[in-house]
Chain A
Amino acid sequence: MKLSTLAAIALTLGVSTWANADWSQTQNDAKGQTVYFNAWGGSEATNAYIAWATKEAKTRFGIDVRHVKITDTAEVVKRVQTEVSAGRTSDGSIDLMWVNGENFRNLKNGGLLFGPWAQSLPNWGLVDLNKPVRTDFSVPTEGYESPWGTAQLTFISDSAKTPAPPRSAADLLTFAKANSGRVSYPKPPDFHGTTFVKQMLLELTPNKAVLQQPVTPAAFATATQPLWAYLDQLHPSLWRNGKTFPASAAEMHRMLGDGELKMSITFNPNEAANLIAGKQLPTSAYSFGFTGGTIGNVHFVAIPVNARAKAGAQVFANFLLSAEAQTRKADITVWGDGTVLDISKLPTASQALIRKTAPGALSETVPTLPEPHASWVEALEAEWLKRYGSR
């Protein structure tokens, strides 16, 4: 064997052993640590899954993971910002957070994230690199966050009351006018509400390519002008005349169940199946998307720069990325959140489980539209609040 090949093999082995030794060290450091995982707690299926994952983390790795339920990730961002600026650089209260989009961008730009670490996780090799797992709302992740699952904006309706749902923004306007007071969306900055606004923007804006670039005031004004015109027309036909909005998607599900609203909104195409199984929606509920496609994205977990239990956070994130955890997450009877792994790399049984569907889940293929650049989110939210935020 040639010396260079030998050297190459030795180097690879050496590097991988070193990497493995590195990971073993991380796992050792993680034992006994308490990891505060700040994650949105607005869905029972999600909470139940996280509860399972924390139990597994305890038995398998000796990590005590605490799920801190959050309503708005922006608050977590603020907390990290305040802690770091107050000098709390190693004793932060957040170890791992569920994040994407503009929140990730704010953290990364502010140098508030620990890393890079995501691509050195052992389970990174299973990740499907065809999915947008290395850019987050057009912002490169650069290993500062690890992918966790996929999401797509989906609508839910009741076939007993709404056999023919709206399939586009224009459709929605007609539908709202015909069913006055029975349509609404969550109030931004709730992320479902913001995404609804983004969805409308994508359909109505003259030049979609502009949205992939960082926002500028001129571009914003031109791009969003048809959006505000549309919303001005839409709001008077909304629930409570558009003067108040439901606080969350969960509330909208409840109103849909009671018939107070005709449509609800979610990021999980399988959520309706969960809700029907949980008796919170009637069996006649179904999911649908727009014919032109709906916004889809990948969500991640990230570690703040001042986290106390960085090792524990990484080990937990690696577990979340494992085949077993991802399969269970994609199981429609558990959560139904899409996996970020390459399905072909998973065992057949897992593949079958992931592909399983249930009544109420999104059965049609809805094209996925890419998210606008992260900087557009805050601009949109601010403008929406200015126009419609207070009575």
Chain B
Amino acid sequence: MAQALRLALERALPLVPQNRPGLPRQWLAALPVLLIFGPLLPGLYWALSPAMEPMVWQALWMDAQWPHALRSTLISNVLGTVLACGMAALLATLHYPSRLWSSLQRRLPLLLSVPHAAFAVGLFFLIAPSGWLARAIAHFFQWTSPPDWVTVQDPYALSLALALAIKESWFLLWVLAAVLGEQAVSRQMVIARSLGYSRTQTWRLILWPQLLPRLRWPVMAVFAYGLSVVDMAIILGPGTPPTLAVLIWRWLTDPDPALQARGSAASLILLIVLLVCVLAVRGLGWLLKQIQPYPGGQRKPTANWRWLPLHMPLFVTGYAVVAVLILWSVAQTWFFPALLPDAVSLESWLLADWTPFWTTWWLAIAASLLCLPTVLIWFEWGPKHLNALLYLPLIVPALPLVAGQYATLLHLHLDGTAVALVWSHLLWVLPYMVLTLIGPYRAFDARLMSSARALGYSPWRACLAVKWPMLLRPILATLAVGFAVSVAQYLPTLFAGGGRFITVTTEAVALSAGGNRRVLTVQALLQIALPMAAFGLAAFAANWLGRHRKGLR
């Protein structure tokens, strides 16, 4: 009887979520997204078509720099990604589920909000021959001059690999933590262990086979990012020749059209490398699956390695990076081999140029505020099955996309304008905001909307009055994520802004080549402060706006 009543109700009332919106409405909802992605397509054609000339490929082949550039890129990226995965996997295997795991999880958001460029600067100051690490050792061995190490800007890009490994391991740990937080997963661990298998065996036989497929997109995003990273490569990577990404960037920004075409051709190489690596990993996965033996039931107790503080180096590096940045920003004279500055003062902060800070600030606010309604409208009325397309900018190396954007802007004579700059950031802010909001949005109880509609509200008013206010906390978190993503952007600012707009990120990278570490660290710390402030503000706002509504907090 209850069933019959429910069916009748469903027939009588058009339930918004079940009802697929009509095609015209879907297109209308998709319009903002089309505005972000659409102009990119002709731009990609304009940017990449010069690369189709065989002469360009010949010139690229003849260029003496590309073999070494490709080598540095491959080493730094493959090593960095593998190490990041390995470290995250090791920590998860050892410490999940335990008190240490929960505390590690809590420390991650702080570390994650350190943008890549600032992290690279800090790591440089840690491991350079005149860096903190060398000074600590010099103290021990009584050195007076920096050692003759090649720890940064080394020809094989190992320092870049290390930086990528550490930074991305935090990200992968965070992704793992989210997946492991699911009750189904934690209960599987208990079940497997109750069947007699040790933790390590459970991980190897039960958890990893399930989790690895779920991790493929984040790992692919990590790999794609590393292929195209320019700001970290400028700071930590080799100079002559630089990584392929830096080389491509230099070629693309050269006024000479022949070099621009060479840059386009080389960015196609990046895409090919990505595809090859993805196929190789998939092949490896398939192979491993084929050789899985029939469950043999062997229970092997494992040694307890959990007492080893293996998580310490990973987390301590993060704190050390921020600490060294802070120290340098207030240092007066601080030459090798002093461990601490001779004198501190706030001079650098008082004399600092705050223009990049404000530029970054309004740019990030504009980008995240423009993206939010786009995301909400897409989720509510857009074609849901096309969600995967929105994630494309995350798993494709950024360089070809940025080149495409730039080509479009040049054709429209909009390069160097504020509108162009904000538009270019939207391409990366949008996917991250989608990623953050999609979980809570899908988990929203559809019956609340049905109730609102039953009370007479139109779909639009129901969203405004019921759904979106109830999703306050996730929406604020999404805004903070969008803000942080915009702050960290480097290539779009350079290309679309035509060099006219200086953000803390571009300033930090430009200053990293100079001699004044104080000014550089001030900008790097400002780059860290912005996303942190955004996350803090979002959390505070969520609590404050929901101060009378416990269910919202």
**B553: CB under 8 A from chain A?**
no
Residues in A38-66 with C-beta less than 8 Å from chain B: 41-42, 44, 66
A386 CB, nearest partner CB in chain B, Å: 10
Residue numbers in B under 8 Å from A75 (CB-CB): 254-255
**A244: CB under 8 A from chain B?**
yes
Nearest residue (CB) in A for B498 is: A93
Q: How far is the CA of A69 from the CA of B510 in the complex (A)?
A: 10
Residue numbers in B under 8 Å from A244 (CB-CB): 153, 155, 238-240
Residues in A234-286 with C-beta less than 8 Å from chain B: 240, 243-245, 247-248, 250-251, 253-255, 257-260, 275, 278-280, 282
Contact A250 B145 (CB under 8 A): no
Contact B335 A78 (CB under 8 A): no
Given A82-B255, A260-B129, A282-B335 in contact, is the A248-B513 Cβ separation under 8 Å?
yes
Contact A258 B335 (CB under 8 A): yes
Residues in A85-121 with C-beta less than 8 Å from chain B: 93
Given A244-B240, A259-B146 in contact, is the A280-B256 Cβ separation under 8 Å?
no
Residue numbers in A under 8 Å from B241 (CB-CB): 390
Given A248-B513, A282-B335, A391-B155 in contact, is the A82-B256 Cβ separation under 8 Å?
yes
**A181: CB under 8 A from chain B?**
yes
Contact A390 B64 (CB under 8 A): yes
Interface flags for B62-75 (1: CB within 8 Å of A; 0: not) read 00110010000000
Residue numbers in B under 8 Å from A310 (CB-CB): none
Contact B240 A258 (CB under 8 A): no
Given A78-B255, A282-B335 in contact, is the A259-B239 Cβ separation under 8 Å?
no
A183 CB, nearest partner CB in chain B, Å: 13
Question: A282 contacts which of B333, B416, B513 (Cβ < 8 Å)?
Answer: B333
Residues in B467-524 with C-beta less than 8 Å from chain A: 498-500, 510, 513-517, 519
Interface flags for B224-257 (1: CB within 8 Å of A; 0: not) read 0000000000000011110000000000001111
B260 CB, nearest partner CB in chain A, Å: 10
Residue numbers in A under 8 Å from B269 (CB-CB): none
Q: How far is the CA of A279 from the CA of B347 in the complex (A)?
A: 11
Contact A78 B256 (CB under 8 A): yes
Q: How far is the CA of A254 from the CA of B145 in the complex (A)?
A: 13
Contact A259 B144 (CB under 8 A): yes
Question: A44 contacts which of B64, B240, B499, B519 (Cβ < 8 Å)?
Answer: B519
Q: How far is the CA of A58 from the CA of B550 in the complex (A)?
A: 55
Interface flags for B411-449 (1: CB within 8 Å of A; 0: not) read 000001000000000000000000000000000000000
**A206: CB under 8 A from chain B?**
no
Given A69-B510, A82-B255, A181-B148 in contact, is the A258-B130 Cβ separation under 8 Å?
yes
Question: A390 contacts which of B68, B146, B500 (Cβ < 8 Å)?
Answer: B68
Given A78-B256, A244-B239, A389-B240 in contact, is the A260-B335 Cβ separation under 8 Å?
no
Q: How far is the CA of A59 from the CA of B150 in the complex (A)?
A: 50
Nearest residue (CB) in B for A41 is: B510
Residue numbers in B under 8 Å from A248 (CB-CB): 513-514
Contact B513 A254 (CB under 8 A): no
**B332: CB under 8 A from chain A?**
yes
Question: B336 contacts which of A68, A79, A253, A259 (Cβ < 8 Å)?
Answer: A259
Contact A259 B255 (CB under 8 A): no
Contact A250 B514 (CB under 8 A): yes
Contact B240 A81 (CB under 8 A): no
**A329: CB under 8 A from chain B?**
no
Given A68-B499, A259-B335 in contact, is the A254-B240 Cβ separation under 8 Å?
no
Residue numbers in B under 8 Å from A181 (CB-CB): 148
Chain B interfacial residues counted at CB < 8 A: 35
A306 CB, nearest partner CB in chain B, Å: 13
Contact A79 B515 (CB under 8 A): no
B267 CB, nearest partner CB in chain A, Å: 20
Contact A255 B130 (CB under 8 A): yes
Interface flags for A177-218 (1: CB within 8 Å of B; 0: not) read 000011000010000000000000000000000000000000
Contact B153 A279 (CB under 8 A): no
Kindly name the residue among B130, B332, B416, B514 whose own CB sees the greatest number of chain A CB atoms within 10 A.
Answer: B514
Residue numbers in A under 8 Å from B336 (CB-CB): 258-260
Residues in A373-391 with C-beta less than 8 Å from chain B: 389-391
Q: How far is the CA of A84 from the CA of B91 in the complex (A)?
A: 59
Nearest residue (CB) in B for A71 is: B513
Contact A279 B145 (CB under 8 A): no
Nearest residue (CB) in A for B345 is: A279
Contact A279 B333 (CB under 8 A): yes
Residues in B46-76 with C-beta less than 8 Å from chain A: 64-65, 68
Contact A260 B146 (CB under 8 A): yes
Contact B514 A251 (CB under 8 A): yes
Residue numbers in B under 8 Å from A275 (CB-CB): 515
Contact A278 B240 (CB under 8 A): no
Nearest residue (CB) in B for A38 is: B499
Q: How far is the CA of A83 from the CA of B498 in the complex (A)?
A: 14
Q: How far is the CA of A78 from the CA of B515 in the complex (A)?
A: 27
Residue numbers in B under 8 Å from A280 (CB-CB): 515-516
Residue numbers in A under 8 Å from B517 (CB-CB): 254
B137 CB, nearest partner CB in chain A, Å: 14
Interface flags for A276-304 (1: CB within 8 Å of B; 0: not) read 00111010000000000000000000000
Contact A81 B146 (CB under 8 A): no
Residues in B71-97 with C-beta less than 8 Å from chain A: none
Question: A258 contacts which of B146, B148, B256, B416 (Cβ < 8 Å)?
Answer: B146
Q: How far is the CA of A248 from the CA of B511 in the complex (A)?
A: 12
Q: How far is the CA of A282 from the CA of B153 in the complex (A)?
A: 26
Residue numbers in B under 8 Å from A250 (CB-CB): 513-516
Residue numbers in B under 8 Å from A251 (CB-CB): 513-515
A35 CB, nearest partner CB in chain B, Å: 14
B258 CB, nearest partner CB in chain A, Å: 11
Question: B514 contacts which of A42, A79, A187, A245 (Cβ < 8 Å)?
Answer: A42
Q: How far is the CA of A69 from the CA of B513 in the complex (A)?
A: 13
Contact A257 B335 (CB under 8 A): yes
Contact A279 B64 (CB under 8 A): no
B340 CB, nearest partner CB in chain A, Å: 15
Q: How far is the CA of A309 from the CA of B410 in the complex (A)?
A: 21
Residues in A317-366 with C-beta less than 8 Å from chain B: none
A122 CB, nearest partner CB in chain B, Å: 31
Contact B130 A260 (CB under 8 A): yes
Residue numbers in B under 8 Å from A279 (CB-CB): 332-333
Nearest residue (CB) in B for A68 is: B499
Q: How far is the CA of A181 from the CA of B150 in the complex (A)?
A: 12
B480 CB, nearest partner CB in chain A, Å: 32
Q: How far is the CA of A218 from the CA of B65 in the complex (A)?
A: 29
Contact B499 A391 (CB under 8 A): no
Residue numbers in B under 8 Å from A44 (CB-CB): 514, 516, 519
Q: How far is the CA of A306 from the CA of B348 in the complex (A)?
A: 39
Interface flags for B325-368 (1: CB within 8 Å of A; 0: not) read 00000001101100000000000000000000000000000000
Nearest residue (CB) in A for B257 is: A82
Residue numbers in A under 8 Å from B516 (CB-CB): 44, 250, 278, 280
Nearest residue (CB) in B for A181 is: B148
Contact A390 B145 (CB under 8 A): no
Contact B513 A260 (CB under 8 A): no
Contact A78 B130 (CB under 8 A): no
Q: How far is the CA of A199 from the CA of B519 in the complex (A)?
A: 32
List B residues at the A interface (Cβ < 8 Å): 64-65, 68, 129-130, 144-146, 148, 150, 153, 155, 238-241, 254-257, 332-333, 335-336, 416, 498-500, 510, 513-517, 519
23 A–B contacts from the bound complex (CB under 8 Å): A44-B514, A75-B255, A78-B255, A79-B255, A181-B148, A243-B155, A244-B153, A244-B155, A250-B514, A250-B516, A253-B515, A254-B515, A257-B335, A258-B336, A259-B144, A259-B146, A259-B336, A260-B130, A260-B145, A282-B333, A282-B335, A390-B65, A390-B241
Known contacts A75-B255, A83-B255, A282-B335; 11 additional CB pairs below 8 A are A75-B254, A78-B254, A78-B255, A248-B514, A251-B513, A251-B515, A254-B515, A254-B517, A282-B333, A390-B65, A391-B240
